[in-house]
Amino acid sequence: MVMPTPAQAKLLVDLDHVVARGSLIYVPEIVNEWLFGHDSYLEGARPIDVLHLRGVGDVLAALDSLEQTAWGG
């Protein structure tokens, strides 16, 4: 078995967190579509790419924005 590097392990933990947070808003299939789709809050970038390049902060902020929209906030 190949163990992830520390950087890969952090990315996996961050991805798990994003998927869990997204699952509070959407069903899993939609979370997956959102991760690999283009998000206007992220200036058209794909959340999965932003997670990899800039870290979890901006992606969680995008989810916060989606959650407010979904719940009429």
Domain ranges of the chain: 20-67
- 47: number of Cβ within 10 Å: 24
pLDDT tops 60 at residue 35: yes
Helix axes 6-23, 56-70, angle to 10 degrees: 0
What is the per-residue pLDDT for 68? 84
pLDDT tops 90 at residue 70: no
What is the per-residue pLDDT for 17? 97
- 22 CB-near residues (< 8 Å, 6+ apart): 31, 34, 35, 63
Which pTM was predicted? 0.87
